[in-house]
Amino acid sequence: MTAAPLYRLESVRQQYGGRVVLDIDRLEIGRGETLAVLGPSGSGKSTLLRLLQFLERPSAGRLWFDGQPAESEPPVDVRRRVTTVFQRPFVLTRSVRANLAFGLRVRGRADRPADIDRLLDALGLAALAHAPAHSLSGGEVQRVALARALAFDPEVLLLDEPTANLDPRNVRLVEDLIRDRRARGVTIVLATHQIFQARRLADRAALLLDGQVVEAGPAAQVLDHAADPRTRAFLSGDMVY
Amino acid sequence: MRESGTDVSDLLTEFRRPELLQIVALTLRVSGVALVLATVSGVPIGALLGLVRFRGQRLVTLLLYTGMGLPPVVVGLFVYLGLSNSGPFGSLGWLFTPTAMIVAQAIIAFPLVAGLTMTAVAGVDRAVRQQVFALGASRWQSAWTVVLEARVGVTAAIVAAFGGIISEVGAVMLVGGNIDGQTRVLTTAIVLYTRQGEFALAIALGLVLIAVAFGANVMLLRLQGRLGDR
């Protein structure tokens, strides 16, 4: 990571009521890298993504995005460089196609039908283009949500368990698209508890336990030669906490 | 039906009365304009109340809910007092005109539109707002998208308000005066003709009122469907 990082977190703490859910001493996310954030359920992965999406302000600490402090809500044009595919994505009560066009419309950009068709096709959704999005299955909604996020070519893609509801064939479709964006230089933060997925997709990996970054580094190093015993325990499938 | 002095042929004759068209037109004009006024003010205010949190929100909510149950005749009374010669707005000369009826009906419709819109918008899952925000919507775009997501409830608010005002009689009777050819609407005409024993005409007007309400609701529901396709 030679260039200045895209995100920098210093002493970031997030608490709800009196409960500390995230307590990160230091974390940097480089431009164009794919960072896998690993950890069991409740370890703070989704909270971290909400901070990176500027949906929440940290209770304490400093957060920089592209060199600018981002503890308060950044201007809309800065926000628009980042998008999230949530673990339980919500589709608007419109057609699948209209859902895909939403991000373009709010940016005042024309939705090119050919681009939308290509995305629908890549995710196996072509036949559902005109279906009401709220009538889809969980797996279909998850793919629509990913296609909707990719439609406006975000610079940063935050993915929260993007393949949680998918069968193996669709997992491959989604991972192919993630790889494609990674190759195009999109910065990706992938929150997952699937170690093999992290191995397949990530440049770097970070393990979150109880809201703290236990270990972070190149994916191969963290996943294959973990230094921290808690990381090794998590990777070997033992219950950590 | 013969015993009550009314049969189907009487009804058909009444449908051809020339003043019927005038009464229907005035009814639609008064309730239509009142509904538009209540909608353009009530939907944004209701949406705002459903979207933001502020001090005193419970009190405002309570007042709106109380307003939803206001008896039309009480609204009519206050509008009458306000527009009468000795009232603060007496100089406008609106009393016993369709304008006074529009004012009264807009006041009756407003809390219905705003209150039910507020409930519908507040009922949209918070996660939808986060999702829309994360897709790059500005604050206004987010708010508008949430209102669109609540469109079934918002349309129901407008439909309920329309049903409330087109069928009310107390307020328009008081502030309009039921003047033949000037301020007579379907409900006040029904009251008058029932009192006069002209049951065939009263029933005909009642059927027209139901048909008008049905037609207006069909239009509103079609609008709702069209918004849903966007």
Model confidence over B158-177: pLDDT tens digits? 999 999 999 999 999 999 99
The answer, yes or no, to whether residue B2 has pLDDT greater than 50, is no
Whether A21 and A43 have beta carbons less than 8 Å apart is answered as no
Mean of all residue pLDDT scores within chain A: 92
B9 versus A128: the higher-pLDDT residue is A128
Q: What is the strand order of the sheet A212-218 is part of? A: A82-85, A156-160, A187-192, A34-38, A204-209, A212-218
Asked whether the predicted pLDDT for residue B229 surpasses 90, the reply is no
Q: Is residue A32 packed enough to be buried (19+ CB in 10 Å), middle (13-18) or exposed (0-12)?
A: middle
Among A154, A143, A144, A158, CA closest to A100: A144
DSSP tag of A29: E
A82: pLDDT strictly greater than 60: yes
Q: Please give the structure tokens belonging to residue A202.
A: 């990530």
Measured CA distances, A44 to A182, A232, B111 (Å): 24, 19, 43
Give yes or no for residue B138 having a pLDDT over 90. Answer: yes
Contacts of B129 in chain A (CB under 8 A): none
Going by C-alpha positions, the residue among A89, A181, A103 that lies closest to residue A142 is: A89
Q: How far is A224 from chain B (nearest CA, A)?
A: 34
**Mean pLDDT of all residues in B110-119:** 97
Q: Among A107-116, A137-146, B92-101, whose mean pLDDT is lowest? A: A107-116
CB spacing of B149 vs A84 below 8 angstroms:
no
Out of A47-51, A120-124, A135-139, B13-17, pick the least confident.
B13-17
Distance CA B34, CA B109 (A): 7
* Beta-strand relationship, A60-65 and A7-16: antiparallel
pLDDT average, residue stretch B129-145? 94
Mean pLDDT of chain B: 91
Q: Is A149 on the interface with B (CB under 8 A)?
A: yes
pLDDT band with cut points at 50, 70 and 90 for residue A223: very high
pLDDT over 90 percentage in chain A: 80
Q: Which residue has the higher pLDDT, B33 or B7?
A: B33
Q: What is the pLDDT of residue B20?
A: 87
Kindly report the three-state secondary structure assignment for every residue of B34-92: HHHHHHHHHHHHHHHHHHCCCCCHHHHHHHHHHHHCCCHHHHHHHHHHHHCCCCCCHHH
pLDDT of residue B189: 96
Question: What number is the average pLDDT over the span A150-165?
Answer: 94
How would residue A1 be classed by pLDDT, with cut points 50, 70 and 90? very low
How far is the C-alpha of A65 from the C-alpha of A60, rounded, in Å? 16
Residue A122 tokens read as 């890549």
pLDDT confidence of residue B150: 95
Closest CA to B158 of B28, B30, B46: B46
Cα separation, B205 vs A16, whole angstroms: 61
Residue A131 is given by DSSP the state S
Instruction: Answer positive or negative: Cα dihedral of A164, A166, A169, A175.
Output: negative
Of A93, A94, A103, the CB nearest to B135: A103
**pLDDT (0 to 100) of residue A237:** 78
- Distance (Å, whole) CA A37 – CA A24: 13
pLDDT digits 0-9 by tens, A30-77: 999 999 999 988 899 999 999 999 999 999 999 999 999 998 889 999
The structure's pTM equals: 0.82
Inspect the interface and report whether the beta carbons of A107 and B136 lie closer than 8 Å. yes
- Most A CBs within 10 Å, among B135, B141, B142, B227, to test the A interface: B135
Q: What is the ipTM of this complex?
A: 0.90
pLDDT tens digits, residue range B173-217?
999 999 999 999 999 999 999 999 999 889 989 999 999 889 888
Beta bridge partners of A36: A190, A205
Closest CA to A9 of A58, A50, A74: A58
Cα–Cα dist B217/B158, whole Å: 9
pLDDT at A119: 92
Identity of the amino acid at B204: A
DSSP secondary structure letter of residue A67? T
| pLDDT classification of A164: cutoffs 50, 70, 90 | confident
What radius of gyration, in Å, describes the C-alpha atoms of chain B?
21
pLDDT at B1 over 50: no
Q: Do A106 and B137 touch (CB under 8 A)?
A: yes
* Distance between CA atoms of residues B27 and B165, nearest Å: 10
Q: What is the DSSP letter of A128?
A: G
Which pLDDT value is given to residue A241?
45
